[in-house]
A and B are shown apart, each in its own frame.
Chain A
Amino acid sequence: MHQAREWNGDWDWETGSRVIADTKPWNESYSEIHEFVTSRDGEKIAAVVKTEDDTHVPCVNGQPWSNTFEKAWSLRFCPDGRLFCFAMNDDEWTAVVDDEPWEETFDFVWNPQISLDGRTLAVNVRSPEGYGIALNGRSWEQRFVEARSCVLSPDGLRTAANVQMESLAEGDILGFAKGVWSLAVDGRPWDARFLNVWGCTFSDDGESVAAEVRPNLIEQTIAVDGKPWEQRFKAVWEPVFRPGTRDVIAPALTGEGWKLLVNGKPLWDRSFTQVWHQTFSPDRRIVAAVACPEFGRWTVVVDGNLWPCTFSHVVMPPVFSPDSRRIGAIFRDEGSWGLVVDRDPWPDRFDMIWDPVFSPDGDTVAVKAEKRGKYYLAVNGKVYPRAYDAMWDPQFSPDGSKILVRAIADGTFHRIVLPVSEVVG
């Protein structure tokens, strides 16, 4: 969020609506149009299209790239506005950014990870030598039997993946039980081996890595830089580092139920039927998580204190405002979706709702929501009456007084800047 605040000051924040592209003529030019994506500043809309000669190409605001491909997928805009996709010609895959393919090609590429500033791209790759990761077009020197996941450090300089160190014959359960999985950082694997490695995460300075590991068939724990916690559990979930420290926080299934632990010891003196998706506030002081205090009821827990409202189906990961004052989380309850902000659920319910977006000062919260197949902007609990056929997450101006809406209506992509005061009345 703080990253967006830095760069969106250059965007056009003049109030009003601009037509960026009429996508209807695309239907006449191309036999097939895949899903639309838009840039965060709302100035571009793009989709992979199929041309007359059966090639695929990203088309941006109606203009196709110069390169064409037999296959193209995973199209998306980076936070800095560059357009990315995977593409294949002559059975060779690579990543393409703004119409520029990486020089190195692979047997296959997938799972793009993009840094917060959009400058760094990491992907999983397979080549004849094995599996690895490529970062900004340069792949790890080391290759592995398999590499699953691709995790990028917050600064975008380092990458990690859980990797298989030895091949196993089909059905070799005894070999598997000895542990053939590890975690590789920048291509260098930990010395330690485990039955499984999952859910890796970097510290915010990128110097340390933690992951869920399974040392044997019936125990799980957290390993930090290859060293497992002494404590063992029936199960654990993804760890996170407390920002600015080497402390690792992770949920674990203990004899008393699920607990949130720090470095293997209880963080709070309470347990839950379930707890996961722990998240730190931007100022690093508060930890919030999704919790199930009793079977079938879900809520948010903040520094160990449960919100009083609970929901029947699910609560999604909490989102902090940039100033750390506020927390919002979307939920599904009794068959419909809603948003709860600071313990108070909005009265409106929707068929679907997206994560909340806070203004830089935290005072305003906006969401994209769907009702009966149409998309709406809702701000501070009030639904703006204009309906769209498609919509992307709203964006706030640096001073929080305006909202950028990116939306399609009747085949036309609009870039709309609304004063917050107009939306909330």
Chain B
Amino acid sequence: MGLPKLPKVSDPGLDETAKMLTPQRIEEVINRVIQKETAARLKVYMNTCVHCGLCSDACHWFLSNDRDPRFSPVGKVKQTLWEILRKKGRVDPDFLKECSRIAHTECNVCRRCSMYCPFGIDIAYLLLLVRRICSLLGLVPQFLQDTVNSHAVTLNQMWVKQDEWIDTLQWQEEDARDEVKTARIPLDKEGAEVFYSIIGPEPKILAQLIANMAQIMTVGGVDWTMPSLDGWDNSNMAMYSGDFETMGRVERVHHEAALRLKCRRIVMGECGHAFRGAMYDGPKWLGWKEPPIPLIHAIDFYHELLTSGRIKIKQKFEEPVTVQDPCNVVRGRGLGGKLREIVRMTCANFTEPEPGLEHNYCCGAGGGTINCGPPWKPSRVKGNRVKAEQFEATGAHIIITPCHNCHSGIEDIVAGYNLGMHVKFFSEILVQVMDVPEDLQA
């Protein structure tokens, strides 16, 4: 095809595990997945695709790699699933390593391409099916598999031990009191209105976000709690590696922790993929049509606090800002409008990204790709040049990203393309601009 050779990336999650595979094992797993775990949906998608390529221009990987067809959505399916099906599972370990590279590290399953497909084919589903096959064969990039192992052991994604979790909450409660003197993080409070869940990186590396939330909850007068035991982490990289059994276990523990505490609803922190897992993929695997108790994303929650007047703004944030629309809560849930409302209520100088809302480009980190770790970072950053160009055009200094994967991925983009911008969660803006009543001030 005359296309440039892609850099070789070493990853023991693919290189070492591929050595253990046999042709019989590969064929058995592939055919079992295709026959037992897929249904009419797969057949419809495969038979409906007319290979038109209109999905290509939807993909940030394709656009950022100079329209290299190998990075187009249909190209990714052609290089993986089409071959798997054509050969009826009789493929070799080297081919499957390539499948994992493409499906796990070069597709964010962001579903932008589905909007550009004339038939609305869920191309991300097809790539997730490839991931599922790879996962059952043990072919998952090392760092992503390690994250899934953490989920399986600790029910959180960062190997946070039970004592470390509680200790961190107590420490963050103290920190929150430096600003809001009555701030508390009530543990295991039965009957609380809000069960607040977050993702593993918060206690591990971004603990100040928990203190921020303690301040926001206290100023907003919210009756809330967090569990002292497992179930506090709402994230789910097993959903993205293809280990659906671990995904189901993680989601069950999350929802049952809230049910056990008799909370009215779950409020999830600023993370997009976690919302997808807790709202859609996890419940579905477990038999719940929807989450057993109401569940909302942080954007919805902040919107409630601000529009109800429970939190008032002292002075708007002045620096120019733009937003990153997280795929799973904007394209997947339609929260883009509310995101803009809360940004406009708190920030004086907001510039829309173009494209925006459901047409926004993925951060390039979602779908588990950032969890594939450092070996894959160069290709990930290269694969999202359009995101850098999009942000640069806004002239903003701050990118508000109500999603952890977006936050980390965009930090990489900002650094990789020398944008000189800063990335903030919305809670970081809110604690800065909210009006703390005098009697609560430390």
Which chain A residues have a beta carbon within 8 Å of chain B's beta carbons?
Answer: 32, 34-35, 71, 73-74, 107-108, 110-111, 124, 126, 146, 148, 164, 170-174, 176-177, 181, 195-196, 198, 214, 217-218, 220, 234-235, 253, 255, 272-274, 292, 295-296, 298, 312-314, 316, 332, 351-352, 354, 370
Give the complex CA separation of A177 and B142 in angstroms.
12
Give the complex CA separation of A126 and B161 in angstroms.
11
- With contacts A124-B162, A235-B245 taken as known, whether A296 is within 8 angstroms of B186 at the C-beta atoms is no
Asked whether B41 is an interface residue with its Cβ less than 8 Å from the other chain, the reply is no
- With contacts A173-B13, A176-B149, A253-B245 taken as known, whether A354 is within 8 angstroms of B262 at the C-beta atoms is yes
Structural contact, A313 and B292, CB atoms closer than 8 A: yes
Our pick among B146, B184, B186, B190 for the contact of A171 (Cβ within 8 Å) is B146
Structural contact, A173 and B149, CB atoms closer than 8 A: yes
Structural contact, B287 and A295, CB atoms closer than 8 A: yes
Q: Could you say which of A174, A298, A312 has the most chain B C-beta atoms within 10 Å of its C-beta?
A: A174
Q: Number of A-B pairs whose CB atoms are under 8 Å? A: 101
- Interface CB pairs A-B, < 8 A, 24: A35-B189, A110-B163, A111-B228, A126-B163, A170-B146, A171-B143, A173-B12, A173-B146, A176-B149, A177-B138, A195-B149, A195-B152, A196-B152, A196-B153, A198-B249, A217-B243, A218-B245, A220-B245, A273-B287, A274-B287, A292-B288, A332-B292, A351-B264, A352-B264
Query: How far, in Å, is B398 (CB) from chain A's closest CB?
Result: 32
Give the complex CA separation of A181 and B154 in angstroms.
12
- With contacts A108-B166, A173-B145 taken as known, whether A234 is within 8 angstroms of B286 at the C-beta atoms is no
Asked whether B290 is an interface residue with its Cβ less than 8 Å from the other chain, the reply is yes
A sample of 19 more A-B contacts (CB under 8 A), given A35-B186, A273-B287, A352-B264, is A32-B184, A34-B186, A108-B166, A110-B162, A110-B229, A111-B229, A124-B162, A148-B154, A148-B161, A148-B162, A173-B13, A173-B149, A196-B153, A198-B249, A234-B245, A292-B287, A298-B287, A313-B292, A354-B262
A contact residues around B161 at 8 Å (CB): 146, 148
Which chain B residues have a beta carbon within 8 Å of chain A's beta carbons?
Answer: 12-13, 16-17, 36, 136, 138, 142-143, 145-146, 149, 152-154, 161-163, 166-167, 170, 182, 184, 186-191, 228-229, 243, 245, 248-249, 259, 262, 264, 286-290, 292-293, 373
Structural contact, A312 and B289, CB atoms closer than 8 A: yes
Closest B residue to A176 by CB, please name it.
B149
Give the complex CA separation of A156 and B170 in angstroms.
30
Closest A residue to B170 by CB, please name it.
A71
A contact residues around B162 at 8 Å (CB): 110-111, 124, 148
B contact residues around A255 at 8 Å (CB): 36
Closest B residue to A296 by CB, please name it.
B289
Query: How far, in Å, is B105 (CB) from chain A's closest CB?
Result: 16
B contact residues around A312 at 8 Å (CB): 289
A contact residues around B152 at 8 Å (CB): 195-196, 214
Structural contact, A74 and B187, CB atoms closer than 8 A: yes
Our pick among B36, B136, B145 for the contact of A218 (Cβ within 8 Å) is B136
Closest B residue to A86 by CB, please name it.
B166
Closest A residue to B290 by CB, please name it.
A313
A contact residues around B143 at 8 Å (CB): 171
B contact residues around A195 at 8 Å (CB): 149, 152
Query: How far, in Å, is B294 (CB) from chain A's closest CB?
Result: 8
B contact residues around A313 at 8 Å (CB): 288, 290, 292-293
A contact residues around B248 at 8 Å (CB): 235
Structural contact, B228 and A74, CB atoms closer than 8 A: yes
B contact residues around A351 at 8 Å (CB): 264
Q: Could you say which of A32, A74, A176 has the most chain B C-beta atoms within 10 Å of its C-beta?
A: A176
Closest B residue to A272 by CB, please name it.
B287
A contact residues around B182 at 8 Å (CB): 32
Closest 6 CB pairs of A and B: A296-B289, A314-B292, A274-B287, A292-B287, A108-B163, A235-B245
Query: How far, in Å, is B140 (CB) from chain A's closest CB?
Result: 8
Q: Could you say which of A111, A164, A217, A274 has the most chain B C-beta atoms within 10 Å of its C-beta?
A: A217
Query: How far, in Å, is B376 (CB) from chain A's closest CB?
Result: 13
B contact residues around A235 at 8 Å (CB): 245, 248-249
Closest B residue to A293 by CB, please name it.
B287
Give the complex CA separation of A173 and B372 in angstroms.
13
Give the complex CA separation of A312 and B293 in angstroms.
11
Closest B residue to A370 by CB, please name it.
B191
A contact residues around B136 at 8 Å (CB): 218
Give the complex CA separation of A96 and B16 in angstroms.
51
Give the complex CA separation of A370 and B262 in angstroms.
11
Closest B residue to A76 by CB, please name it.
B188
Query: How far, in Å, is B255 (CB) from chain A's closest CB?
Result: 8
Give the complex CA separation of A324 and B288 in angstroms.
29
Structural contact, A296 and B287, CB atoms closer than 8 A: yes
